[in-house]
Amino acid sequence: MHRRNFLKTGSLAGLTISTLVAASCNQPSAENKAGETAAADNSKDDIFELSEITITDLQQKMQSKQFTSRLITELYLKRIDQIDKKGLMLNSVIELNKDALNMADAMDREREKGKVRGPLHGIPVLIKDNINTGDNMHTTAGSLALADNFAKQDAFIVHKLREAGAVILGKTNLSEWANFRSTHSTSAWSSRGGQTKCPYILDRNPSGSSAGTGTAVAANLCVIGIGTETNGSIVSPASVNGLVGIKPTVGLWSRSGIIPISKTQDTAGPMARTVKDAAILLGTLTGIDTLDLATLGSKGKVEADYTKFLDVNGLQGKRLGIEKTALNDNPAVVALLQEAIKTLKSKGAEVVEIELYKELKTINSNEFNVLLYEFKDGLNQYLGNANSKIKALTDVIAFNKQNEAKAMPFFKQEILEQAQAKGDLNSKEYLDAVKQTSTGTRKVIDDMLAKYKLDAIIGTTNGPAVCIDLVNGDYDNGFGFSGPAAMAGYPHITVPMGLAHGLPIGLSFFSTAYKEGEIIKLGYAYEQASKKRVTPLFKPDLFA
């Protein structure tokens, strides 16, 4: 859940405080300035053998026996130790997998015998800590309340990862409870994992809730990662961290075994440094799961290999609708958007202005109620089957109150309490709200695509990374475009668009259900024409 975008589009808007004004990051104190300066100096010499490497590169190196999966895994584990746990202390990895090297060894043995399972064979991946792994790792959503939770079995998508031969390096930190705990929360902070930093400017926030995955992939701690999204939690941290992020159609990937917020909006998805890597991961983890009925809708609409849509000429003859309000934002961001529009046109696309947000204005106000009801229902189901002493939302609330100093040192749990006060999913308030939010948003988007004969809708994904502010919480960072596709359950891809004051900004493309292939085609053509991915410099602050 990306709280800043939700505050702008949902009914929480009236609950925000004075933090909606622009803010400056705190300058480094005298006691830590020397350490941060040293970190900045070290970043200039950030020479890493696997920097910006792709899945295809690694497969070629393993095929030629230049690398083994074990060596690759060892290199990533060493880098995590050097700059995530020590040194820069990015704090993106909440837990390492003790079996990672064993998994790598097993894949190397298979390769030696001539067996290669596919493009992910031997490839290290990090996954968000709200996704079950039936192994030695916890699944906690970043909450101390679930610090004892070892999942009984893998989530469906983790099972698919193992089948594909991927090496699970560990789990990433996140905004606690996927940023659905407090109206005054700070993204990328959890009571179990602490605060994750943005690798571009270290006193900036890498955005929620898949912040750890965003930072880890951007900082080259893994090849690819998995995040989850309810509203913005894949595309926002991908944008802020200079990545490609794909939020699939709800139902393309199973959600079983993932700590939920919303059954109508939740999905996991790939986060990568290139469109191709994201497309590889996307196709590998699709499949019908009887434990997630939403996946039944994907039957006959799924591609086993989304890389077939990687076409450098994919923008030719396409018609794209640009959200008009995105053109009236932070001047530095608008300049990047205008440059992107020129690139899109130069590659054969037609771009027309539309006013989608104007049409969605009345619908947005119901989203928060939908999430409150579905969070309570879904979390109680998850916890009821969890291998933890915490068995219901009421237990979470009670634990946090009893352990307030550690569990809630900066912000409280108003959203958890509001969810607990709601009834069940047969409540008229819920049924009315979900009909207007999900069905209504889909109709508006589909009608607009038809009216203007559009292949996709585009806009700035969101503004630059904000300052880490645990006292006041998150604040507004300008235009954000996660809401429409999130509420509709439609596919959304963000691709790096450039830097504003040294901070990455993404360009969004979204369309109607199961059009992942089409938006991947558009995103890839733009990526190849623009080449805007920039490796992070780990600057301590804006002025370094």
| Phi and psi at residue 228, to the nearest 5° | -130, 155
Those residues whose C-beta lies under 8 Å from the C-beta of residue 174, and which sit 6 or more positions away, are: 94, 128, 129, 130, 141, 142, 188, 190, 193, 208, 209, 210, 211, 212, 213
Q: Catalytic site residue 191?
A: no
List C-alpha distances in Å: 435 to 24, 264, 412.
Answer: 41, 11, 30
What HEC string does 445-506 produce? Answer: HHHHHHHCCCCEEEEECCCCCCECCCCCCCCCCCCCCCHHHHHHCCCEEEEEEEEECCEEEE
Active-site entry in 187, 209, 256, 508: 209
Active-site entry in 175, 182, 233, 530: 233
Those residues whose C-beta lies under 8 Å from the C-beta of residue 160, and which sit 6 or more positions away, are: 284, 285, 287
Q: Catalytic site residue 508?
A: no
Q: Which tokens belong to 376?
A: 């309570």
Q: Catalytic site residue 128?
A: yes
Q: Which tokens belong to 67?
A: 């690398």
Active-site entry in 8, 43, 128, 530: 128
Give, as one character, the DSSP assignment of residue 539. Answer: B
108-146 b/e (C-beta count within 10 Å ≥ 16 → b): bebbeeeeebbbbbbbbbbbbbbbbbbbebbbbbbbbbb
The C-alpha angle 406, 35, 240, rounded to 5 degrees, equals 70
Task: Tell me which residues are annotated as active site.
Answer: 128, 209, 233
